[in-house]
Structures are given as C-alpha cells and as structure tokens.
Structure 1
C-alpha cells in the first residue's frame, strides 16, 4: 500500500582507509557519514548534490554492492545488513539497480537475449518458453523491437543501452530500484524519453525509486521527496515541491540558484559559492559546509548542526535556524530565508 515505509536507512556510514606507507597513519575517507532517511512504498525519493558528495556510494552501500562500515538498512522491517550471502542473494530479485554508465554495466560478450535471460534463470523457476515470453514483453515495454534480441551492447546507441539496463532491472518485477544518474550519460533529446519510461514503469509495476542525480530539473520533474547531500552528509530533506519553493539550507539555495531559467525574460539571482569542495579525507570540523557558506558563524566551525523541523517532513541541518546565545543574529537570517 502506498504510504507505508518500504526502506529505512539509519546512521549509514561508509569509510575507506587509504594506506600512506609503512610509517604513516592511514587516511580515512568518509564517503558516507551518518546518513539517515526513509522511503515510502510507491514514491520516488531523490539524493542530490555535487559530484563526489557520496550519492552513488550511498546507493551501492544500501544494496550491499559495497559493504557498509556501520549503520542499518531496513527493507520491509528486516535489516538487510545482517543477512547472510545466500539470503541477500535471494532478496536481490526485489532490490535492483540501474547504473550510470549504460555501456559499462552490460556484459559486452553477451547478447541482449543472454543479458535478460540471466536474472530469470538465477531468481525464478521459469521454463525456457516463459523466459522468452517475459523478455519479449519487457523489450516491448521499453520500446525495443524483437529483432534486437541477438545483438551485442556495442551495436546500440547510449539511449538504447540504457533502455536495456532498465529492462534488466525491471524484468524480475522488483519492489525497489536505485537509479544512479540514469540519464546523465545521455543526450538531452534522449533524457526525456528515458525519464518518461521510468515514470511509466513505476505506474505499471508499482515501483519505488531511489533516484540519484545532480540535475535538479530532472529531480523536480519526477521525484516526490528530495534529500540534499554535501560531503557525505544529508543537510536538508523535504517534499520536492516544498524544497524548490522554499529551500532552507544555504547549500540548497546555492544549488537551486544554478538551475537554468525556463524563460529568457526570467531573472534569477545566482549564488556563487567561493572556495573548493573540501576533501572527504580531511573534512572541516563542525558543519562541513562552513568553509564555503556566506552566512558561517563561529558555532558552525565547532558543531555539526542538529536537524531543524520546519513541518511537513521538511528538515535542514543549519545553525542559522537554531537559537544560540553565542550567535544572536541567527533570527534575522531566518526571517529573510
């Protein structure tokens, strides 16, 4: 039933240790650092942020394509991080992924028939005729003709390869799909076709998506809820309409100002962030965004802010909205945000 919690992520962490030689300490890269969110059945939840903020690592860690350092991931009330290899493998028919690069994610030595046949052989007990029937049906749904069955991935365009990747993810009729930048490698003319295909498939198969992207125009078009990531942490979560109407976190406001205008006469104030994105191997203390934030205060350098609830599920981790004796001017910004 739509509205029920399907996936819950609690305090998820993924750290990478980089050796620096025999006599030096290892460097720890905090790719995903204490991330929590909830996805309801039937909705499209987006992770958005700059390249390198940890979006893709979060998606891969949820599906255990990369093993987490710490945290919990509950799927229908079951912590999948506690499952054995065998139990996790049987669950993968319900948890699928669409990868960013449609060419690298397909085996170049296998035909489309073999690529789509493989998940049916592993996860379902179908006859050969039933498998072929399902393959032809899913090809029809994603808009590819039957004659493409015995071709290899290199014989297709980028858009066609991504449709094949989508067909492979959907053929088992999963409940949950992580779409990792599914249109970023495609031409603009093809992007809308793939986005509409994903929306059509969601309606037909009652799918739930975790949609990972840095393209805010795509996010606005096809998602229900958005979490904004910066340097491995989530800094704001809100319904899509609410986030685009009234972003609270300074980083989110800067991202929104970068969205191209829809009309030549439209005027938009561009927020230019100064400085470079800090290294996740040596993140700043306190709020990780304070080195680039135009409203940074002393407390921002000391403490990572708690989430402030603005109602209707809209939260932002920012000291500008937290009462503080040290920073009496925080209220002035709150009234103008």
Structure 2
C-alpha cells in the first residue's frame, strides 16, 4: 500500500507543473525517436542494398572507358572501347559465359504530343537475360533484329507510363527516337533501381546496338561491356583474363597504363553502402546527443525539484516518512519523465 501511495504522490507532483514536465520529457522523446529512426533506416538500407545486389548480379563485371594520355601527355577520357573488344572477350576467355556491349546516349523520345529526354541503350539481344530483367509486356529484341539494324524498341516501365495513356497498348505502337520511327516490341517490369549517375532505369529505352550506332547516332562508340562470369569464385581470374585480352586488342605495351577499367557490380553497391553507413553514424550521433541532453535535463529538473521542495521533504519526514520513501518518490518522478 505504501508504494501505491508514493506513486500517487509522485504523479501528483508532476501534474502540478505540466509544462516543466513536458519540456523535460521532450529531450528524451526526441532521442528515442532518433534511435528508432536510425534502426529503421539502417534495416531498410541493408534490405535495399541486398535487393540491388540481387538485381545487378554478383557474377557481373563491367568493362568501361578509363583514362589514357594524349599527345600532350595530359590524361584524357579514353573512347577506345569497341564491339571488337566484346567479341574478343567472348572468343578468347574461358571464365566468361555472356558478353554484351552497351552504348548509352541521351536523346528525345516522342509519342504524340509527349516528348521526353532520356537515355537510349543500344545493346545485344542477351542484355535482358544477363541483367536478370523481366519483360512485363511483349518481348525483348532477337539476335536477328540486333544484327539487322531493325528499328525496334523496348521501354522501361516508367517511360511506358509517361508516353502512353492507359487506354493505349504500348506494344505494337510507334515512337520516335531523335525523329526516327521505332516499333515498341516490349515493356520491362518495374525495377525501382536507380544506379549512381544513371538516373531512373525505368525511364530508359533499349534498341539494337547496330541500330543505335548506324541509324540513330552515327557513331560506333560504346560506353561499356557487361560480362557474366561462370562463377563468383572465378571473379579474380576473369578480371585478369579480360584485362589481358583488351590490352592485346588495344596494343598496349607492358609498361603502359590501361585505358579501361574493370569493375564488379558489387563495387557500385559498396559505395552506396558506405554513404548510407556514414548517414546512419551521423544519425546515431544525433540520437546519442539527444538522449544525453534529455538525461541531463531530467537530472537538472529533479535537482531543482528537490531544492524547491525542501520544506515539503521536511514535513514528510517529520510525520514519519523515511529517507528511502522520499528517495523512491523522486525516483518514480524521474522514471515517469524518462518513459
């Protein structure tokens, strides 16, 4: 019975100064909210990274343009990657199962009165399978279409929704890319993955590489070569094989710097993960400071409360209250404020 009475007195004391009690609790509330947010963001970020890793594939390598030295000795962006490099990788390596060259160019895509600037991806017929992208409507390009410079296009899910109203089936419709008519043969399922520096992948359009090079942009330049290795365990061996093949294709001397680079798909995710970890640490620091400030606030308020209520404490002790019961009352007040 004594404990219930002490608790009642403690709660009544807090109700006497509601504003002070609320302000004291606010610091702890902010700190706890920050901790909960930090945990939620950390868990969500980890799940997002794992989803991106699964979508990109842990067995993928990307060969992209590197930096070379010009005639003046300055380092310049290399543009020497070509379809021949992709063919050589496919023919002269043992650890590789699939190879697709990729050209990424910016262009205007039109349907009716809708006009959107986006990335046009020129590639081979194996691109969708290599990248684990699923078709929602229609199909992806065939090898015959890729070899024959056909004017066919596959749209990202978001691009399809932007260009076409719900009443129109995009498959079989015609769009214009840089003013050239293309037949839409398929629409990808939504990926929801936006890789660093590449914008929204669901807003891109895919066409045959030969069509991109010779009918649309008039350039045989490619941006990168995507390579699928036979096993994740062969990652190091595959990178060494690819480097040797391309250096021979580019006729680089043994002491010359490579004018290309080879990255694993996981490299990009590691960068994303590091930035998210930095943000999580920052949020953890804010949460810790908030909790400490809240705790100090409670300590100060309780100290002031004890000082202000010296007369009350004296009266309680004079009528039989023990030091332990008085301490318990203030402890209950502190616990209520912190909870």
TM-score normalised per structure 2? 0.25
Larger Rg: 2
More helix by share: 2
TM-score normalised per structure 1? 0.26
